[in-house]
């Protein structure tokens, strides 16, 4: 009986070849990505939805309470503090995680609307500056701020000294009157810088003489507008 022919040493059984191929492929498969906990984005209202230990309850303060928080704050207090100190005087109310989440969503939407209004207010002032470029081409000192966005007339003496001066509040009132559709009542709106024609910072932002001034107003977080204010004598 003739023995079956032997395979060449280099030949592999099909099953062995399949297993080897699978092993090679597995070697090139990347392990699953593990995101470090520090990079995870916390869910909305994570701080508020986390229950405090020691049986504390979540409340919203209806007025400022020393050592506890400001009016409107959401915090955790013991049941005894709530029952004996806060509830009796109607100084706080119980609030659920769902209410906290809804309030945060509403606040985020309000912030978005305020930022949008601030951007449109800035655009309106900048457009007005373009439309009111002076023939002499004067710009804000050492800046690229050109054109007058706000003009004010005030009583002044022969030397140009103003009677009473022009304060930041008066500047904002003038802007509100000149641009009634602008965002001037936001909690972050304020005059942050005033410089005279020589580029010097005006002390206390209180203008005492007629002339052109470069004024910067903060409208919202990260949204400022710088413009030329021209003050002349009546």
What does the pLDDT read at residue 35? Answer: 32
More confident residue, 57 or 23: 57
Is residue 229 within 8 A of residue 212, CB to CB? The reply is yes
Backbone angles phi, psi at 130, to 5 degrees: -65, -40
In this predicted model, what pLDDT tens digit does every residue of 81-135 receive, in sequence order?
999 999 988 999 999 999 999 999 999 999 999 999 999 999 999 999 888 876 5
What does the pLDDT read at residue 30? Answer: 34
> What does the DSSP assignment read for the chain?
-PPPPPPPTT---HHHHHHHHHHHHHHTPPPPP---GGGSPPPTTHHHHSPPSTT-EEEEESS-BTTTB-TT-EEEE-HHHIIIIITTTT-EEE--HHHHHHHHHHHHHHHHHHHHHHHHHHHHHHHHHHHT--TT--BSTTSS-BSEEEEEEE-B-TTSEEEEEE-HHHHHHHHHHH-TTS--SSTT-EEEEEE-TTSPBPGGG-EEESEEEEEEEEEETTEEEEEEEEEEE-
In this predicted model, what pLDDT tens digit does every residue of 150-190 receive, in sequence order?
999 999 998 999 998 999 999 999 999 999 999 898 889 99
Pairwise CA distance, residues 158 & 146, whole Å:
28
Q: What's the average model confidence in pLDDT over 52-63? A: 86
What does the pLDDT read at residue 132? Answer: 82
What does the pLDDT read at residue 53? Answer: 58
More confident residue, 1 or 186: 186
What does the pLDDT read at residue 45? Answer: 35
Rounded to whole angstroms, the maximal C-alpha distance in the chain is 134
Pairwise CA distance, residues 141 & 231, whole Å:
16
What does the pLDDT read at residue 76? Answer: 96
pLDDT of 144 above 80: no
Average pLDDT value over all residues in the chain: 79
- Classify residue 171 by burial, with Cβ atoms within 10 Å: 0-12, 13-18, 19+: buried
pLDDT of 229 above 60: yes
Structural domains of the chain in order of their starting residue, each with its CATH number: 43-95 (3.40.5.10), 115-233 (3.10.430.100)
In this predicted model, what pLDDT tens digit does every residue of 3-52 receive, in sequence order?
555 444 444 444 343 344 334 333 333 333 333 333 333 333 333 434 55
């Amino acid at each position: 009986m003739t023995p079956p022919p032997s395979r060449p040493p280099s030949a592999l059984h099909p099953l062995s070849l399949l297993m080897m191929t699978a092993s090679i492929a597995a070697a090139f498969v990347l392990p699953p990505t593990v995101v470090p906990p520090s990079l995870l984005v916390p869910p909305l209202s994570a701080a508020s939805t986390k229950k405090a230990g020691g049986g504390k309850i979540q409340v919203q303060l209806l007025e400022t309470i020393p050592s506890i928080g400001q009016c409107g704050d959401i915090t955790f207090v013991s049941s005894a503090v709530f029952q004996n100190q806060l509830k009796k005087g109607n100084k706080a109310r119980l609030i659920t995680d769902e209410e906290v989440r809804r309030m945060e969503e509403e606040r985020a939407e309000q912030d978005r609307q305020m930022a949008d209004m601030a951007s449109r207010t800035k655009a309106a002032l900048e457009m007005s500056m373009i439309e009111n470029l002076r023939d002499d081409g004067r710009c804000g000192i050492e800046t690229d701020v050109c054109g007058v966005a706000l003009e004010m007339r005030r009583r002044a003496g022969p030397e140009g000294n103003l009677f009473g001066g022009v304060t930041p509040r008066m500047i904002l009132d003038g802007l509100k009157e000149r641009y009634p559709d602008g965002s001037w009542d936001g909690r972050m709106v304020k005059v942050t810088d005033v410089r005279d024609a020589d580029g010097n910072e005006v002390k206390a932002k209180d203008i005492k003489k007629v002339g052109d001034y470069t004024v910067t107003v903060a409208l919202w977080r990260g949204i400022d507008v710088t413009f030329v204010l021209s003050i002349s004598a009546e």
